[in-house]
Structure 1
Amino acid sequence: MDSDNPVPSSGVKRIDAATKDTKQISSEILDLIGIKGETSEGGPRVSECGDGKDRETYYQMRHPWSLTPPSGDQLAGVMERLKKKLPQQGWKIVHYERDSSPNKNLRLTGDNDERKFSVSVVHLAKNERPQLTVTVVSGCYQVPEGQRVDRY
């Protein structure tokens, strides 16, 4: 999702359909990670698009979650694997670097222009329990005519 238009228009979609699509993207990312472990609870949620868009008409989906394997060693190589496998599934890697935190966590950001989604994956290798944090974000949807966004 380019910097000139950080929240691209993704068309008209009902919130339940957008929720289903967002869950599907998260599931596909988990499959690409290929590691079993404890995933955090909670599902996709509706958020505002920003950019001055009417919050009763426009929305985007966000699904933050984490994966904590039984052993942090299981995460070795997972970011490189994602960097290789995501493009094979239609994703463009737009950032792959260490962040500015004291732990210098490895961060990957990918965009899927066709599906209008972005994903951010952070490898928290130095946590007490090493984990991956994942955030899946959709483009900006418009609710169908006659409907309104009724939950945030």
Structure 2
Amino acid sequence: MSDSDASKTKTPSAGVATTDDAADALEAVSSQIHDFAGVPGKSSEAGAGVQECDGKDPKKFFRVWHPWNFAPKKASDLDVAMENLKKKLNTGGWVIKDLYHDNSPNKALNLVADNDAKKVSVRITQYSKTDPPSLGITTISGCYQVPEGETVEQF
């Protein structure tokens, strides 16, 4: 990997925050993405988790990630939800970085988008052939530093 490639994949700094505040901020982004889908449905209840930042002190630096699923009430709304997400994740500071079909037997559609201002990325996988059809959604933050005198709380 060249130096320029490494700089493109480097996790951005997201500033200073407690793990609870960072998790709340990321869950708010997940809620916005849920709204972007624009169709009625059910979301899983999974909460945010904490991960280490590559190459940084795990007691002082962390990332927050929030994996969840969204299943539209009507299977026919799955494509509508993904189209809505493609449109909305190219506005308001969001930029689609990748859109591709993966190598799974079902060739699932994947969308990756970043919001540089919020220091957040989202990966959405469209599971058209599952029962019920759903979207697998994972939001992940940039790298936070805990406030002076605090350590990273794992959850």
Normalising by the smaller structure, the TM-score range is over 0.9
Match of 1:89, SS state, is coil
How many angstroms does 1:150 deviate by? 2.8
Q: Which residue of 1 aligns with 2:69?
A: 66
Distance 2:95 2:79 in 1: 22
Distance 1:70 1:12 in 2: 39
Q: Which residue of 2 aligns with 1:77?
A: 80
Match of 2:138, SS state, is strand
Q: Which residue of 2 aligns with 1:9?
A: 13
Distance 1:102 1:14 in 2: 41
Segments ≥4 residues shifted beyond 3 Å: none
Distance 1:92 1:64 in 2: 20
Distance 2:90 2:131 in 1: 31
Match of 1:87, SS state, is coil
Match of 2:90, SS state, is helix
Q: Describe how 1:103-122 pairs up with structure 2 within 5 A.
A: 103-122=106-125
How many angstroms does 1:79 deviate by? 2.0
Say if 2:33 is the partner of 1:35.
no
Q: Describe how 1:129-140 pairs up with structure 2 within 5 A.
A: 129-140=132-143
Choose which of 74, 90, 101 in structure 1 pairs with 2:104.
101
Match of 2:137, SS state, is strand
Q: Structure 1-normalised TM-score? A: 0.92
- For 1:64, the aligned partner's letter is P
Distance 1:113 1:3 in 2: 17
How many angstroms does 1:80 deviate by? 2.3
Distance 1:107 1:3 in 2: 23
Match of 2:76, SS state, is helix
- For 1:54, the aligned partner's letter is D
**Considering only aligned residues, what root-mean-square deviation do their CA atoms show, in Å?**
1.4
How many angstroms does 1:3 deviate by? 5.4
Q: Describe how 1:37-56 pairs up with structure 2 within 5 A.
A: 37-50=41-54, 52-56=55-59
Q: Deviations over 1:73-123 (max 9, x none)?
A: 111232222111122221010001111111000100000011100001111
Contiguous gaps of at least 5 residues in structure 2: none
Distance 1:37 1:85 in 2: 18
Q: Structure 2-normalised TM-score? A: 0.90
